[in-house]
């Protein structure tokens, strides 16, 4: 019986060199990403373990991104501890508060290659599947053990295969597609499983659009979201990785999937999708929400804070104004994204339209700072989670949507179909 991408990649990181769905195996990790969880939670576990070494300083990536720069004393203390850790162990890869969101900066770093097995201290570590790496999030204790040993255990997941055909053209974005897929799967529809995304639509996507999809695979409960590298992904890796460009892993033709789903975008008539609170799996066509007044439009996060996201927002908002009843906050996902957007004049366009542009951080996405919601406020957001309390007050309402829908809604002050704003 053939093997899936998850089986192959996990298998190649075991001593036996092989693994099948359902096995519980010990794996060697290629790279570990840790953010503020390091200073806050992992370091105390390392103390408890009486560990005073790291397994490999060149395979640990530390980021200060969630509350960056520190909005309060507590965050400052966590950042300070991270810096101290980096200095003490001579960690090679460190992004301090000036860098951007962990997943984006890690993708930009060139340290992720097809075929790698990557763990992050963050559930959206599934993002790196866009480059053909198996990646997943684990929490403090598991990360501490990886820091000490470079190893962890994984239960090899079964895989759901999703094939997508058809044109995805602006203002439709991969965000609309993934919101639709998650709505169909349900928020635990892929629990304990991996998702493989295939088909010509995925094959044609930019790296940015692919990351959005793999990033949100976790919102259906998936352990990982995987794609085979396309030309865009190959070029991305080639231009960033030093020398080693990894090993592309393809699923076998006779790989066994627990489920295979086919989507033809034309025949399903995919529309811009919006997920109403309180679940990312509650997506419905935007037409069902049109007219809902918003207080805030947020464009940012590891899901949709990249150049193509800012670019489409600027294209929709050029020469227009953010509605006087609303505010718009734009948080580029990384310094690199920010600088490129500056060069392209995107930042200027957005600011002229009245948007507030912040430094690169998780910020509003996690209700940390730079756009926290008050009681009863309504936000349309390009992020990935709309749980109660996620972006501030528990009575605030978060609607998840694509950057195009966020921009169109900012202009009208209410949830708006981006296709209308595009043609105006």
Partner 1 sequence: MSRTIRGRAWVVDDYIDTDQIISGKYLRILDYEEMARHALEIPRPGLAEQIRPGDVIVAGRNFGGGSSREEAPRVLQVLGIGCVIAESFARLFYRNAFNIGLPALILRDAHTRFNDGENVTVDVARGEVRLEERGVLLHCEPVPPLMMRLLEAGGAVALYKMRTTERVSKQE
Nearer to partner 1, 188 or 252 (CB): 188
The phi, psi pair for 299, rounded to 5°, reads: -120, 110
Strand partners, 27: 152
Q: How far is residue 35's CA from residue 27's CA, in Å, rounded to a whole number?
A: 22
- As given in the structure block, the two tokens for residue 273 are 């999708």
Q: Check binding of 384 to ligand SF4 (CB under 6 A).
A: yes
8 A C-beta contact, residue 162 and residue 197: yes
Question: Using the rule CB under 8 A, is 67 a contact of partner 1?
Answer: yes
Q: Does 362 bind ligand SF4 (CB under 6 A)?
A: yes
Distance CA 24, CA 169 (A): 42
Q: Show the binding pattern over residues 154-193: x = contacts partner 1 (CB under 8 A), - = does not.
A: ---------------------------------xx--xx-
195 binds, among ligand SF4, partner 1, none (CB under 5 to 8 A by kind): none
d(C-alpha 230, C-alpha 233), whole Å: 5
By CB under 6 A, tell whether 75 contacts ligand SF4: no
Which of ligand SF4, partner 1, none has residue 72 at its interface (CB below 5 to 8 Å by kind)?
partner 1
* Residue 97 within binding range of ligand SF4, rule CB under 6 A: no
Are 112 and 13 a contacting pair, CB within 8 Å?
Answer: no
Strands annotated E in 12-149: 24-28, 31-34, 60-63, 93-95, 117-120, 134-137
Helix (H) or strand (E) holding 330: strand 327-331
| Of the residues 2, 57, 74, 204, which one makes contact with partner 1 according to CB under 8 A | 74
412 interface partner picked from partner 1, ligand SF4, none, CB below 5 to 8 A per type? none
Judged by beta carbon distances under 5 to 8 A according to partner kind, the member of partner 1, ligand SF4, none in contact with residue 301 is: ligand SF4
Q: Which of 160, 366, 380, 411 binds ligand SF4 (CB under 6 A)?
A: 366
Residue among 171 and 189 whose Cβ is closer to partner 1: 189
Residue 279 sits in the site that holds partner 1 (CB under 8 A) = yes
Distance CA 131, CA 4 (A): 16
Q: Which of residues 193-252 bind partner 1 (CB under 8 A)?
A: 221, 223
For residue 400, list its beta bridge partners. 275, 381
Q: What element of type H or E holds 88?
A: helix 73-89
Instruction: Determine if 70 is a binding residue for ligand SF4 (CB under 6 A).
Output: no
Q: Name the one range near partner 1 by CB under 8 A: 98-106, 138-146, 159-167, 286-294.
A: 138-146
User: For ligand SF4, which stretch binds (CB under 6 A), given 52-60, 99-107, 243-251, 284-292?
Assistant: 99-107
Q: Does 297 bind ligand SF4 (CB under 6 A)?
A: no
Gap between the Cα atoms of 382 and 302, Å rounded? 9
Decide which of partner 1, ligand SF4, none touches 257; Cβ closer than 5 to 8 Å per partner kind: none
- C-alpha 338/C-alpha 373 separation (Å) is 24
Nearest to 339 by CA among 131, 129, 110, 105: 105
Dump the DSSP string for 174-195.
Answer: HHHHHHHHHHHH-TTTTTT-EE
CB 40 to partner 1: min, Å: 6
Told to check if 321 binds partner 1 by CB under 8 A, we report no
Q: 273 with 183: CB under 8 angstroms?
A: yes
CB 256 to partner 1: min, Å: 20
Task: State which of positions 353-372 bind partner 1 (CB under 8 A).
Answer: 366-368
- Number of residues in contact with ligand SF4 under rule CB under 6 A: 13
Q: Can residue 29 be called a binding residue for ligand SF4 (CB under 6 A)?
A: no
- Considering only residues 2, 15, 22, 48, which one is a binding residue for partner 1 as defined by CB under 8 A? 48
Rounded Cα gap, residues 138 and 152, in angstroms: 10
27 alpha carbon, distance to own chain's centre: 24
CA distance 191 to 334: 30
Q: Is the CB of residue 280 less than 8 Å from the CB of residue 216?
A: yes
Chain contacts with partner 1 (rule: CB under 8 A) = 24, 36-37, 40-41, 45, 48-50, 67, 72, 74-75, 77-78, 121-123, 125, 137-142, 144-145, 148-149, 153, 187-188, 191-192, 221, 223, 279, 366-368, 385, 387-390, 392, 394
Chain contacts with ligand SF4 (rule: CB under 6 A) = 66, 101-103, 122, 124, 301-302, 362, 365-366, 383-384
């Amino acid at each position: 019986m053939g093997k899936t991408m998850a089986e192959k990649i996990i298998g190649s990181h075991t001593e036996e060199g092989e693994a099948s769905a359902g096995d519980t195996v010990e794996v060697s990790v290629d790279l570990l990403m840790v953010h503020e969880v390091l200073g806050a939670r992992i370091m105390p576990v390392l103390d408890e373990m009486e560990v005073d070494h790291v397994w490999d300083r060149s395979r640990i990536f530390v980021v200060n991104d969630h509350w960056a720069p520190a909005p309060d004393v507590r965050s400052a203390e966590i950042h300070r501890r991270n810096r101290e850790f980096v200095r003490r162990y001579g960690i090679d890869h460190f992004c301090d508060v000036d860098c951007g969101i962990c997943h984006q900066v890690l993708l930009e770093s060139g340290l992720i290659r097809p075929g790698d097995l990557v763990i992050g201290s963050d559930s959206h570590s599934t993002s790196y599947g866009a480059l053909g790496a198996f990646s997943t999030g684990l929490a403090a204790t598991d990360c501490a053990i990886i820091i000490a040993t470079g190893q962890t255990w994984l239960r090899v997941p079964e895989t759901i295969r999703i094939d997508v055909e058809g044109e995805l053209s602006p203002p439709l974005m991969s965000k609309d597609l993934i919101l639709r897929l998650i709505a169909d799967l349900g928020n635990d529809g892929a629990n304990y499983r991996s998702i493989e995304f295939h088909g010509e639509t995925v094959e044609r996507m930019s790296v940015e659009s692919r990351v959005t999809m793999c990033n949100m695979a976790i919102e259906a409960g998936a352990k990982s979201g995987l794609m085979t590298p396309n030309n865009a992904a190959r070029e991305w890796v080639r231009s960033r990785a030093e020398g080693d460009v990894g090993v592309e892993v393809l699923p076998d033709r006779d790989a066994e999937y627990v489920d295979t789903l086919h989507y033809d975008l034309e025949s399903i008539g995919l529309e811009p999708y919006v997920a109403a609170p309180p679940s990312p799996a509650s997506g419905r066509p935007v037409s069902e929400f049109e007219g809902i007044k918003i207080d805030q439009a947020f464009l940012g996060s590891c899901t949709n804070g990249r150049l193509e996201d800012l670019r489409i927002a600027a294209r929709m908002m050029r020469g227009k104004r953010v509605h006087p009843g609303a505010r718009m906050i734009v948080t580029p996902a990384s310094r690199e994204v920010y600088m490129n957007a500056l060069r392209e004049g995107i930042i200027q366009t957005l600011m002229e339209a009245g948007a507030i542009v912040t430094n690169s951080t998780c910020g509003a996405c996690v209700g940390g700072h730079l756009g926290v919601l008050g009681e009863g406020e309504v936000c349309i957001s390009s992020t990935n989670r709309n749980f109660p309390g996620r972006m501030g007050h528990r009575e605030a309402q978060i609607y998840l949507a694509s950057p195009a829908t966020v921009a169109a809604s900012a202009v009208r002050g209410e949830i708006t179909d981006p296709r209308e704003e595009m043609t105006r």
